[in-house]
């Protein structure tokens, strides 16, 4: 019974970590999109390309 409890707790921990990772990725992606929009609006081509590259790397 104890081994089953340890396994269950480990699986819950992994599930919580996956949810947290997904939330962080979503937040970073949204922030990057906003920064890309600002770079476009201000005509900052270098920042746009840097952020677009960063966004593509996050999607991998």
pLDDT at 60: 83
d(CA 39, CA 16) in angstroms, rounded, equals 35
Whole-prediction pTM value? Answer: 0.80
- Each residue of 27-52: pLDDT tens digit? 999 999 999 999 999 999 999 999 99
- Residue ranges of domains in the chain: 24-60
Tell me if 36 sits within 8 A of 46, measured CB to CB.
Answer: no
């Amino acid at each position: 019974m104890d081994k089953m409890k340890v396994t269950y707790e480990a699986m819950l921990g992994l599930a919580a970590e996956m949810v947290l990772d997904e939330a962080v990725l979503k937040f970073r992606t949204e922030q990057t999109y906003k920064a890309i929009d600002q770079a476009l609006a201000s005509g900052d081509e270098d920042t746009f390309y840097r952020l677009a590259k960063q966004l593509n790397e996050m999607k991998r």
